[in-house]
Amino acid sequence: MRWSQVISWAAVFALTATAAVTTRANAGQGIGAPGPADKPTVDPVKAAAGKNTFVQNCAFCHGLDASGGERGGDLIRSLIVARDRKGEEIGKIVAAGIPAKGMPPFTLTPAQIEELSQFLHQRVAEKASRNAKPINIVVGDAAAGEAYFNGEGGCRACHSPTGDLAHVATRFAPQDLQLRMLFPPRPGAGPPIDSGQRGPAPTQITVTLPGGEQVRGVLVRIDDFAVALKDANGSYRSWTRSPDVKVDVQDPRAAHYALLDKYTDRDIQNLVAYLETLK
């Protein structure tokens, strides 16, 4: 529901690249994050200790993951946990129990209560997070992926498993590899061109002026009203868009974008499995 406006008006063509690595992270604590600004920060050491306490005393009814069981309620969606900060609300229930629902009282130390509270707040934060990592995306058939790479996908036109893609699986985690294949980063997202590392290939552009002169270069910016490039000498040049000024944009990633309408999900799985063999 939250909608992050993935826009950079200053660098229009950097957009897709930045989006590819965008994480829609919760902002953390304080103003701007989901929930109250004074919600507790989780200390992982205390939360780990709290987990032990939970497993020994609570998990039998509330489930190992605190999501509720046949006898005990869901503590992730619990209003008591939501209103708790450092164990003050949870501690009351633990100490008194809820006899009407069959929950007995427990004798825990204040430190144990705080740790238990930290564990539950950690579980809530995990569930509310939008940043969980995929469980396993290498589930395809590598041989079928290789066939698609060499055939239908047309990947061989630009890429080689012994050339630019040699050892690619050692450079990127599987999800990064998958996302870079589907949505290759555009300049602006990768390492700077002068850094010596391999960055995204620039988008080329040819501008044909009214007299017929052609200027080629690397696209800097384009919209309906102006176009700018860096020419072969590294000079920045720009023009007002008009019917007399023709532009031809050549994005080396265009074939990737065209595949988005053609891939099946199985094709994607197979391609990732194949790329994962390029260790």
Partner 1 sequence: MKSVSIAVMLALLPLRLAAQEPLDPALLLKPPADAWPTYNGDYSGRRFSPLTAVNAKNIDALGLAWAFRLPSDNRSGASTSIKATPLLVHGILYFAVPDHVWAVDARSGREVWHYRWESKGGIHIGNRGVGITGNWLFFETPDCHLVSLDIRTGKERWRQEICDLNQYYYGSVAPVIIRNHVIVGVSGDDLDIAGYLESRDPETGALQWRWSVPARPGEPGAESWPSEDAMLHGGGMTWVPSTYDPDLNLMYLGTGNPQPVLAGKGRAGDNLYTESIVALNPDTGKLVWYFQSSPHDTHDWDAVQTPVLFDSEIDGRPRKLLAQASRNGYFFVLDRATGKNVLTKPFIKTNWARGIDSKGQPMPDPAKEPSPAGTLVSPSSDGASNWYPPSLNPQTGLFYVSTNRSFSMFYLTDLADKPQGWGGNDRGGYGESYLQAIDYRTGAVKWSHRWYGRGLSGLLSTAGGLLFSGDTAGHFVALNPSTGDILWHTGLTANISNGPITYELDGRQYVVVGAGDTLYAFWMIGDRGESGARKAADDRRSR
Scanning residues 78 to 97, which ones bind partner 1 (CB under 8 A)? 79, 82-83
Taking CB under 8 A as the rule, does residue 132 contact partner 1?
Answer: yes
**Bridge partners, residue 236, by sequence:** 230
> What span, in angstroms and rounded, lies between the C-alpha atoms of 128 and 131?
9
Among 28, 70, 99, 131, binds partner 1 (CB under 8 A): 131
Residues that bind partner 1 (rule: CB under 8 A) add up to a total of 73
Residue holding tokens 């690397």?
218
Taking CB under 8 A as the rule, does residue 6 contact partner 1?
Answer: yes
> What span, in angstroms and rounded, lies between the C-alpha atoms of 113 and 69?
21
Taking residues 20 to 59 in sequence order and writing x for each that binds partner 1 by CB under 8 A, - otherwise, the string is x-xxx-x---xxxxxxxxxx--------------------
**3-class secondary structure per residue, 71-133:** CCCCCCCCHHHHHCCCCHHHHHHHHHCEHHHCECCCCCCHHHHHHHHHHHHHHHHHHHCCCCC
Q: Identify the three-state secondary structure at position 185.
A: coil
Judge whether 24 and 33 are in contact, CB under 8 Å: no
Helix (H) or strand (E) holding 216: strand 214-222
Taking CB under 8 A as the rule, does residue 225 contact partner 1?
Answer: yes
C-beta of 200: minimal distance to partner 1 in Å? 14
Q: What is the largest CA-CA distance in the chain?
A: 90
C-beta of 106: minimal distance to partner 1 in Å? 24
Stretch near partner 1 under the rule CB under 8 A, chosen from 40-48, 160-168, 223-231, 232-240: 223-231
Taking CB under 8 A as the rule, does residue 9 contact partner 1?
Answer: yes
Scanning residues 179 to 198, which ones bind partner 1 (CB under 8 A)? 179, 182-183
Stretch near partner 1 under the rule CB under 8 A, chosen from 41-49, 65-73, 95-103, 204-212: 65-73
Taking residues 228 to 267 in sequence order and writing x for each that binds partner 1 by CB under 8 A, - otherwise, the string is -----------------------------x--xx-x-x--
